[in-house]
Chains A and B, each alone.
Chain A
Amino acid sequence: MNELILLLLRGLAVTVELTVVAAALAIIIALSAGLARMSRRRAMAWSAAVYIEVFRGTSALVQLFWFYFVLPFFGIEVSAFTAGTLVLALNTGAYGAEVVRGAVLAVPRGQLDASAALNLNRLQTLWRIVLPQAFPAMLPPAGNLAIELMKNSALVSLITITELTFAAQLLRAETLRSAEIFGLVLVLYFAVALLITAGVRLLERRASHGLERGGA
């Protein structure tokens, strides 16, 4: 019995690893795509928009199978883990880009005028003025996206990655104790979700320090 529990815990570790790696990638993607979407350069704004619409408009599982089964036909061999991480990151990043855009647009225009008056260049304005103020407003939706990402990570069990859900399937085949196994797995996922929520709350409290608007 202990061995079986160990299998689940090892699966849980993979689920957490997938979620953390994909979330880190998704943050980078969301910031780049969100900012590119608002760019004055048409081509850039347009490609970002296409990426966002395609990944928000199709199913995450379809994207996963596409990356896993179709890419090899183009000569791109990716491991299941890479395909899984990449799709989770790209999918979440597309939703995140809209979060970034919304938060940046919510920064009052006066801040931009003030930056121009202070002779800051565009990069300085973005990095020192706009993003720090937009950040607190991004956190609550980003927390929700992190939980969505964690939940979506269960999908990669369908391309044979031995994460929590796949481990549960293996266990079930061995013991046939479906109710206990899947019940326990649901509780484990719930616990991770609670941890994410608590973490984001903590960040929110810190980020809203010294700000009069946005955030918590």
Chain B
Amino acid sequence: MIFDWPYAWEILPRLAEGLVVTLQATILGMTVALSLGLALALARRSRYRLLAWPTGALVEFIRSTPLLVQIYFLFYVLPDTGVRLSPLATGVLALGLHYAAYCSEVYRAGLESVPKGQWDAAIALNLGRWRMMKDVIVPQAIPPVVPALGNYLIAMFKDTPLLSAITVLEMLQVAKLAGAESFRYIEPLTLVGVVFLLLSLVSAAGVRWVEGRLRLEG
């Protein structure tokens, strides 16, 4: 059986609609991951053991368990607790949480790479802890880790098809539906694979470019 180009052409607009949802989920999920990840990284470094230790345990737990099960957990358990979210919102939350755990480790490396003199200087200037982090440490900790965060953005993008398991109409789900209607899976699934490959390669090149720029400046 050969690749049916007219049929592939015909389903392209639908797949494009799915791609929009995929990109939405990625961008929103990454926004959650970047902000929550920083909060987790700071909490893990906190002087208060009662905050630092459980945060560390939570991060390890989230990193070591499957994203798909985490998605199901939120999808089925949140409504039981009275929180009603759309499947897409649930998916974004799950992606955000999962990758926040990964991002927090990246931030942690960034925070640790800020020279000790900077911390000492901030203390010598009598800055409060909040201002020290906000104005001195975090602005220096983030730029070196941007490429690593970029790699997690790409990884999250490739994980968005998991949202099809909770009925989100992202690209893979659209392809599966199209395949089920026509009994032809070659075209939709191959197209989805190609789109993922192209976008991943382009984004990976983007990350390498940023990395090169950082090295030049650094």
Contact = CB atoms under 8 A, between A and B. Distances in A.
Interface of A: 53-54, 56-63, 65-66, 69-70, 73-74, 147, 150-155, 157-158, 165, 168-169, 172, 178-179, 182-183, 185-186, 189-190, 193-194
B72 A168 contact: yes
A90 to B, nearest CB: 13
What's the dominant secondary structure at chain A's contact region? helix
A33 to B, nearest CB: 17
Q: Which 5 A-B pairs have the closest CB atoms?
A: A178-B76, A193-B64, A154-B66, A69-B185, A57-B200
B186 interface: yes
Interface of B: 1, 61, 64-70, 72-73, 76-77, 80, 158-162, 164-165, 172, 176, 179, 184-186, 189-190, 192-193, 196-197, 200-201, 204
Interface of B is mostly: helix
A190 B61 CA distance: 6
A165 B66 contact: yes
Given A57-B196, A69-B189, A189 B64 contact: yes
Contact of A70 (B64, B186, B196): B186
A65 B172 contact: yes
B16 to A, nearest CB: 16
A185 B69 contact: yes
A62 B65 contact: no
Contacts of B159: 59
Contacts of A60: 158
A54 B190 CA distance: 12
20 contacts: A53-B201, A57-B204, A59-B158, A59-B161, A61-B164, A65-B176, A66-B190, A73-B184, A154-B68, A155-B66, A158-B68, A168-B72, A169-B72, A178-B77, A179-B76, A182-B73, A186-B70, A193-B64, A193-B65, A194-B64
B81 to A, nearest CB: 8
Contacts of B176: 65
Contacts of A165: 66, 68-69, 72
Contacts of B204: 57
A85 B76 CA distance: 28
Given A57-B197, A66-B190, A73-B185, A190 B64 contact: yes
Contacts of B72: 165, 168-169, 178, 182
A165 B68 CA distance: 8
A124 to B, nearest CB: 36
Contacts of A155: 66, 68, 162
A151 B63 CA distance: 9
B196 A62 contact: yes
A2 to B, nearest CB: 23
Contact of A147 (B64, B68, B77, B196): B64
Nearest to A178: B76
B197 A54 contact: yes
Contact of A178 (B68, B80, B172, B200): B80
A186 B65 contact: yes
Nearest to A153: B66
Contacts of A65: 172, 176, 185, 189
A200 to B, nearest CB: 13
A58 B200 contact: yes
Contact of A62 (B64, B67, B172): B172
Nearest to B67: A151
Contacts of A150: 66
Contacts of B192: 62
Residue among B61, B69, B165, B172 having the largest count of chain A Cβ atoms under 10 Å: B69
Contact of A186 (B73, B76, B190): B73
Contacts of A59: 158-161, 172, 196
A59 B199 CA distance: 11
A186 B185 CA distance: 33
